[in-house]
Structure 1
Amino acid sequence: MSVRHLDALLHPASVAVIGASSRPGSLGAVVLRNLRGGGFGGPLWAVNPHASGIEGIPCVPDVASLPEAPGLAVICTPAPSVPGLVAELGAKGCRAAVVLSAGLKAPASDGGPSLEQAMLDAARPYLLRVLGPNCIGLLVPGIGLNASFAPANALPGQLAFVTQSGALATAMLDWARGRGIGFSHFISLGDSADVDFGDVLDYLASDSGTRAILLYVESVKLGRKFMSAARAASRNKPVIVVKSGRAPEGARAAASHTGALAGSDAVFDAAARRAGMLRVDTLEALFDAAETLARVRPLQGERLVVVTNGGGAGVLAADALSLAGGKLATLEPDTLAALSACLPATWSRGNPVDIIGDAPVQRYQDALRVLVAAPEVDGILFIHAPTAMVPAPDIAQACLPLLAQVRKPVLGCWLGGPAVAAAQAAWTGAGVPCYDTPERAAAAWMQRATHARNQLALSQVPPAALPGFQPARAQALSLVHEAVVEGREWLDEVAAKALLAAYGIPTVDTRRAHDADEAARLATRIGFPVALKVISPQIVHKSDVGGVALNLNSADEVRSEALRMRQRLARHSPDAVVQGYAVEAMAQRHGARELIAGLATDPVFGPVVLFGRGGIDVELSAQHAVALTPLNPLLARDLVERSGAGPLLAPSRGRPGVDLAAVADTLQKLSLLACDLDEVLELDINPLLADPSGVLALDARVRLSTGLRGRRAAPAIRPYPEDLEEMLVAAGAQFRVRPIRPDDAWRLGEFYAGATPADMRLRFFLSRREVPHSELARYSQIDYDRDMTFIAVEAGEDEAGARMAGEVRAVCDPDNETAEFAIQVATPWQNRGLGLALLTKMLGYLRSRGVQRVIGECLPENRLMLALAQRLGMTVRAGEEVMHLHLELAAPGP
């Protein structure tokens, strides 16, 4: 990902239109007209070999004749000319271009690369950024930039809108203008050959003029880049997305149950949730959500109270909330008594709070005061229908001073038209989001609740993932690599269960038999009853073709069933090659629930974990959900809850509930398997039996990536880099130095709590007694793709309670050019070599990932840091209040 030169694209000092024209209706004429009409204040040039000037704008024949390098070039010429023009612009010194031209997917020459690739090749030597091709362009109303061929300009505002659809862009501009919605940026990505969602998200995340980012997504090309940027952006401001294309294309090609259930739309849903974004279904909801999330006060809970002067409107809101899975607040007796004291005897005496249609201003104020003070109320939806008793503007103005002091979120719904327009405008102007109908208001509250849940997932501190567990990775790798070398796309039943066992997932005793007689002998050794399953590379769903026999109670039964099974396959699947049989013990788990757990591969976001209700009719059930890898205990439990299978797992009618910890552990182990083994494309455990004593995998299928299929996409979120762990001796002691993990938040908190006030001031440049939980979560849940923190933990037999002795962290810019570092060592270990060892490790890591320079700051009195910096060859420069540290990193050796 890169924000390099995006400032030239999105905040140019000058603009040149390549292919400008005076011909009415031509692309070059429309773009030039829009640039002039937008009010852009910088120099504007036109490039056209057949004109000396166009409508008063200076015109030159070619790029070389421009008086200086333009900050931004807008290319409106036919596709074959684009690569050459990009090369000329780069040589001139231009660093950003908008390519409106379509047709660049065509080959540049017979058998050669596409015009698009030729364009990128021409841009690369100059690091010239390209928006498009085949896009509408971009608008930045705050600087009067309309570098597009949209039919209308955009109003200035604080919403950024980024879309892949050109037709949608033009319609959305017209729609938003009619409703007075303004934008900080309006960007059409087109084919996203260079600048894509990840780049734009990184730029807009730090743009002070943007309070929310709205995305219209048709497809994502690079899952990890998108997720990294989206997670970073959504920590700073609301990111709301509409994703088109809900058909599960990926599922159509899947052969396993898991692959069929984990459709691309479900995976994108999981990605949006994991990134802390909010996904909505419609464009109207997109703007409603932007209004709600950017204005409403922080959410402390989901319990909503509805206060209204019309009972019917309140019921509509309550119904909409209930259908969406929302929570109406249950009013406590004290709250009900307080409301009864200020409302007519005929009030609704519950939630919704109907204050009756003849309510004067004072009644509105009194009811709001009670509800604002009620501890069981987390948010208020105010609904008003116009009456002849009191003008709506009077009610709005009387309530605003009270709402200004409220910490709880308040939403408004002013029903009607001209009679309530002034009231709605007053509340909107005061920062209270308002909606036209009770249903839209309820939907907006649910958007807020969903976004809060997704944000909470970014700040939760999970317990350690599978403490003390180490998979038999060498055994698993051997199983997989042997199959790949032999060109086997599917592991057989025995190998699949051996793979699960290597990752600590309990399986039934399963053995391979080559013929009917060997199957009978193995069954006798295992003990009856047994199950018999055919082994054939051509048979994936064995029960569909009579390839499974259960509850066989003697060697003769096993032998006879094996022969009959071979006969059935000869009739139904004559091309299937029978390689033998799997003989396994019958599981005696009466009352166990049948579940499915597995892995699938999304072509963009990589491996995902699926969980839900299992059994032979699993694909008919809607009770399943998917989650991106890697999983921690909290994410695994969340996957179980979202699957809808929760009631199946709970105690019911005297039957005890299942061991949920064992289920969550299994999901985490599958996630670990997916992160470790790139060759695993799909994996089914169906059924996975679960009961109070744990889980047991009865049937397993594993699909591998062979040479013909290619390798799968990498996990969209980089897993914990275990290979960076090492033991280190410093200060006369031994330490385990490793990347920080999310479950280290408590350890980090203790580390800061044990520091002296002086050390905390040197670290944070201010006096602080403690670090908030939210900050600890952010410091420990890092994105290993762009950040790194190494911690030194005192070595011992049990790391679970070991203390931190030091930390060094570095945050890389999106271009991976510069990393800013910070370091802190516990007082007992200072000036004893631990800081030098930590910072040396960090510099080596940054050098290995291609970072070019390291910068940092420290207070002038931090003499230990200054001495350490000088010892490592850093340049030290005095600033007004801090010392600036700088080190150019040499490239890693061969």
Structure 2
Amino acid sequence: MSIRHLEHLFRPASVAVVGASDRERSIGALVMRNLREGGFSGPVWPVNPRHATIAGQQAWPDVAALPEAPELAVVCTPAPTVPGIVAQLGARGTRAAVVLTAGLKAPAEGGGTLEQAMLAAARPHLLRILGPNCVGLLVPGIGLNASFAQASARHGPLAFVSQSGALATAMLDWANARGIGFSHFISMGDSADVDFGDVLDYLGSDPGTRAILMYIESISAARKFMSAARAAARNKPVIVVKAGRAPEGAKAAASHTGALAASDAVIDAAIRRAGMLRVDTLEDLFDAAETLARARPLRGHRLGMVTNGGGAGVLAADALSLAHGTLATLEDTTRQRLDACLPPTWSHGNPVDIIGDAPAQRYVEALAVLRDAPEIDALLFMHAPTAVVPRSDVAQAVVPLLREFPRPVLSCWLGADRSDPARRACEAAGLPTYDTPERAVTAFMHLVNYQRNQEVLTQAPPAAAEHFRADREAALAIVEAVLADGREMLTEPEAKALLAAYGIPVVATKIARDPDAVVAAAAEVGYPVVVKILSREISHKSDVGGVALDLKDEHEVRLAVRTMQRRVRELRPDAHLDGFTVQQMVLRPRAHELIAGVASDPVFGPVLLFGRGGTAVEVIRDRAVALPPLNATLAADLVSRTQVSRLLAGYRDRLPVDHAALYRALVQMSQLVCDLPQVVELDINPLLADDQGVIALDARVRVQLAGGEAAARLAIRPYPTELESWIEVADTPLMLRPIRPEDEARLRDFYAEADPQDLRLRFFSSRREVPRSELARYSQIDYDREMTFVAIDGHGGLVGEVRAACDPDNREAEFAIQVRRDWQGRGLGRLLLERMIGYLAQRGTGRLVGVCLRENDAMAALARCLGFTIEADADRKAVRLSLDLQRAG
């Protein structure tokens, strides 16, 4: 379930309190008090079988006796009674309930838990449940306080969603003390029904919510969470505090990747991929919300600082360095201009320390210089109190300049109460302000990280000349043969053959069963060679001395083989030695040893890992994690988040690596794991990378039997290759396929070349071009919730598109269609729309709807021909098109 009936939860017209009470400090009494004092305008009906009145008003003995079905019920009765009450509410017609009661994990009569019985009672009526074991919810804009919190909430533009009830009540106190208001304040509790994905879907499109703040302890339903988070983050900032940054440690796994890809790193990757922002503390949540709301968008990451106190500047610069931020380097022209207006003792660098005796005019002149400095992407203004110039004078002089500054500005007024008027002046001017340099720098890094995450969400990869086609059949045959043999671990030759099937370069490997065969194989491949043990029981060969490098002749080969045989007998007497592998020694002395791999997260499914490789990989722990599927842009982002990435860019006499080849290998590894659900762990270590390209020297792969759809285990649905097909229109072949992020340039050209009248009919307004933000949104779709089919001609041009976006419940999809002018009237529009109708009907979508201008006769005629009903809108300027997909199918 998703947003179905959530309007009854968050905007009810009436509320019933089941378990209402007059007993002091009882949950039922607190809820009644909060509903009365919150200012809720609708009726509130207490339900209690033992009292005729509650809180001075009439009470009803049970749900059936209520004057009408309440839109929302708040349940605060003992746990064993909850399933029965939910059944009564559903039968009465209630469609949303807040279950405050704890203890529903206890066994129920007849088997299962009370929570399972509650959900079973709600399901036939599609009754949505917040909780159980929660504090409740507050919607200050309608005066709704359906909670047992000790205080109400102010009305404001922030939504706060917490998995911890105790934390929610503490946060409410903290926010009220600081005058922070909320559009929604939601305690999730055990999230038996309504979960984070549902709430994100609702709040993401709520016009009264400017930003969504979340405290998360755990996530379930990863696919739904990611779809909802990506949709919400495109509309407004979503800021997350996730508990559990420092787990005791990941369990040992058969692969290095499994040990390195700890769950918190996976959560980080999911937050980044969704375009959300993760912060460290609850206080950071609100700082980040204010910063993102007030500051101008960043165009770069270089921070300039101006201060009248050297200590403040040092603290800020230190904080920026520790946060891996970038301190702007002043250009000569900027320093010369500052020399002309500042005393000789100024800092002559960034931070720009204008000295403690600075009058307001000195600030004004320094800001005028920094305003014109192209090397500064954002400015941190700091003022330490002095007896020389009143803060109010400085604020009066600089706030107008800071407000008009062409780049983001953050302000910091050090000191306590006496700095409050200056802070209020900045806030009134829409400038984010902080009381310490460290908090100001943290806020700047929130801007930086949020911008980076948004770029991950919206940045288009480069157009690919040809979509890579793997030999999936060959790879699947390898995996199935291993499983049929009763094994989980592939041998090294099998693992390399699997990688080769997906176009990942590997070093040729020969298998030898005995020492003589090893010598013969070495002579065949050519010295120097590498010899490794081949054993189904030993995953990490180097742990038992099972790898010998740079063997130059037969004598060294035979000695290495005897040594390895002895070491295996001593260290792993339980293991069977199947033989040896022989490969030519790859002599690329300037290559970097990297690791790339796949691990399986219990919630998010397959995750990809990249970092510094070699035998010390788990000691160095330089790695980054990403969710598949990847494209070239996402692969570049994954690489950029490692320390080794700076080495890969080249240094001294070492050339940069072939980044295109590296990204290509990561993308193809991503495709492998998307295609083959049997692959649960994979290591490529080392993956050598230099200016000549990449090559996998060793690989380990673990497989398991898999059931269900391959893509179902992925948190993000990959590109659906199976939907590609060729069609023929007017004797011309066209490729008809889902849109890909790489199609952004094609889409831009498609709209740029369109007739202005076609664009007006498509977008309902005259426009000269489609903004890049829209192009990114149109080409980077969520295949789990929306679909766009594009027709591509033989020259690679886009000649037609049809797109449909489903609501989160898949009840209704809204479509739009456009065909290039020279292809109109040839039947392409009908073929596109028929393909969309067939696709949506197959996925169980209930209805397809669209709106077109009344003058768009061609669209109306096409819709009528395909069975749509057509109704005029109330304003008579447009018509609504509607098709019952399940009846049509």
TM-score normalised by length of structure 1: 0.95
Which segment drifts farther, 199-208 or 547-556?
547-556
SS of residue matched to 2:713: coil
Aligned residues: 887
Mapped partners of 2:12, 2:702: distance in 1: 51
Alpha-carbon distance, 1:126 to partner: 0.9
| Corresponding residue of 2:2 | 2
Q: Which residue identity is paired with 2:510?
A: R
Change (3 A) 1:221 1:555: same
Mapped partners of 2:28, 2:553: distance in 1: 84
- 2:882 aligns with one of 869, 874, 886: 886
| Corresponding residue of 1:46 | 46
Mapped partners of 1:263, 1:79: distance in 2: 36
| Corresponding residue of 1:660 | 659
Q: Does 1:19 align with 2:15?
A: no
Alpha-carbon distance, 1:561 to partner: 4.8
Whether the 8 Å CA contact 1:765–1:859 is kept in 2: the answer is yes
* Aligned pairs for 1:474-553 within 5 A: 474-553=473-552
Alpha-carbon distance, 1:466 to partner: 8.0
Alpha-carbon distance, 1:451 to partner: 0.5
Mapped partners of 2:651, 2:317: distance in 1: 30
Change (3 A) 1:60 1:749: same
Alpha-carbon distance, 1:892 to partner: 8.4
| Corresponding residue of 2:622 | 623
| Corresponding residue of 2:855 | 861
Alpha-carbon distance, 1:708 to partner: 12
Alpha-carbon distance, 1:700 to partner: 0.7
| Corresponding residue of 1:280 | 279
Q: Which residue identity is paired with 1:842?
A: M
Mapped partners of 2:35, 2:243: distance in 1: 31
- 1:808 aligns with one of 802, 805, 811: 802
| Corresponding residue of 1:86 | 86
Q: Does 1:719 align with 2:718?
A: yes
| Corresponding residue of 2:868 | 874
Whether the 8 Å CA contact 2:75–2:97 is kept in 1: the answer is yes
Change (3 A) 1:792 1:710: closer
Mapped partners of 2:438, 2:53: distance in 1: 55
Deviation by residue 1:386-432 (Cα, 9 ceiling, x = unmatched) = 23344323432443433443342221111112211122122213321
Deviation by residue 1:633-691 (Cα, 9 ceiling, x = unmatched) = 11112222211102332434433332222211111111111111111111111111222
| Corresponding residue of 2:67 | 67
Change (3 A) 1:463 1:711: closer
Alpha-carbon distance, 1:556 to partner: 6.8
SS of residue matched to 2:575: coil
Which segment drifts farther, 601-610 or 249-258?
249-258
Mapped partners of 2:339, 2:514: distance in 1: 82
Alpha-carbon distance, 1:588 to partner: 2.6
Whether the 8 Å CA contact 1:104–1:115 is kept in 2: the answer is yes
Whether the 8 Å CA contact 1:748–1:776 is kept in 2: the answer is yes
| Corresponding residue of 1:743 | 742
Structure 1 unaligned runs (5+)? none
SS of residue matched to 2:250: helix
Change (3 A) 1:701 1:465: farther
Q: Which residue identity is paired with 1:828?
A: D
Whether the 8 Å CA contact 1:242–1:282 is kept in 2: the answer is yes
RMSD across aligned positions (CA): 2.2
| Corresponding residue of 1:764 | 763
Alpha-carbon distance, 1:165 to partner: 1.0
Whether the 8 Å CA contact 1:160–1:214 is kept in 2: the answer is yes
Whether the 8 Å CA contact 2:18–2:77 is kept in 1: the answer is yes
Whether the 8 Å CA contact 2:594–2:689 is kept in 1: the answer is yes
Mapped partners of 1:709, 1:145: distance in 2: 44
Q: Does 1:33 align with 2:29?
A: no
Whether the 8 Å CA contact 2:529–2:585 is kept in 1: the answer is yes
Alpha-carbon distance, 1:334 to partner: 4.0
Change (3 A) 1:550 1:807: same
| Corresponding residue of 1:755 | 754
Which segment drifts farther, 317-326 or 411-420?
317-326
Deviation by residue 1:71-94 (Cα, 9 ceiling, x = unmatched) = 111111121211111111011110
Mapped partners of 1:679, 1:466: distance in 2: 30
* Aligned pairs for 1:382-397 within 5 A: 382-397=381-396
Change (3 A) 1:340 1:24: same
Mapped partners of 1:219, 1:39: distance in 2: 34
Mapped partners of 1:829, 1:239: distance in 2: 42
| Corresponding residue of 1:214 | 213
Q: Does 1:202 align with 2:201?
A: yes
Q: Does 1:839 align with 2:838?
A: no
Which segment drifts farther, 314-323 or 780-789?
314-323
Structure 2 unaligned runs (5+)? none
Alpha-carbon distance, 1:355 to partner: 3.1
Percentage of pairs with the same residue: 63
Change (3 A) 1:712 1:580: farther
Q: Which residue identity is paired with 1:819?
A: A
Q: Which residue identity is paired with 1:251?
A: A
Q: Does 1:101 align with 2:101?
A: yes
* Aligned pairs for 1:42-441 within 5 A: 42-109=42-109, 112-248=111-247, 251-441=250-440
Deviation by residue 1:180-218 (Cα, 9 ceiling, x = unmatched) = 222111111111111111111111111111111111111
Alpha-carbon distance, 1:712 to partner: 10
Whether the 8 Å CA contact 1:250–1:264 is kept in 2: the answer is no
Mapped partners of 1:713, 1:702: distance in 2: 21
Q: Which residue identity is paired with 2:832?
A: L
Alpha-carbon distance, 1:553 to partner: 4.9
Mapped partners of 1:635, 1:641: distance in 2: 10
Q: Does 1:692 align with 2:688?
A: no
SS of residue matched to 2:226: helix
| Corresponding residue of 1:609 | 608
* Aligned pairs for 1:629-668 within 5 A: 629-668=628-667
Which segment drifts farther, 422-431 or 486-495?
422-431
Change (3 A) 1:694 1:332: closer
Deviation by residue 1:855-887 (Cα, 9 ceiling, x = unmatched) = 111112211111111111111112222121111
Alpha-carbon distance, 1:358 to partner: 3.3
Whether the 8 Å CA contact 1:591–1:691 is kept in 2: the answer is yes
Mapped partners of 1:533, 1:712: distance in 2: 35
Q: Which residue identity is paired with 2:127?
A: L
Deviation by residue 1:52-104 (Cα, 9 ceiling, x = unmatched) = 11111321111111111111111111212111111110111101011111111
Deviation by residue 1:301-332 (Cα, 9 ceiling, x = unmatched) = 22222222222212221221222122223333
Alpha-carbon distance, 1:605 to partner: 1.6
Alpha-carbon distance, 1:9 to partner: 0.6
Alpha-carbon distance, 1:704 to partner: 1.0
- 1:829 aligns with one of 823, 828, 834: 823
Q: Which residue identity is paired with 2:166?
A: A
Q: Which residue identity is paired with 1:21?
A: S
Whether the 8 Å CA contact 1:464–1:632 is kept in 2: the answer is no
SS of residue matched to 1:251: coil
Whether the 8 Å CA contact 1:793–1:803 is kept in 2: the answer is yes
Q: Which residue identity is paired with 1:889?
A: L
Change (3 A) 1:707 1:309: closer
Mapped partners of 1:599, 1:839: distance in 2: 39
SS of residue matched to 1:382: strand
SS of residue matched to 1:749: helix
Deviation by residue 1:348-384 (Cα, 9 ceiling, x = unmatched) = 3332223333333333333333333333322222212
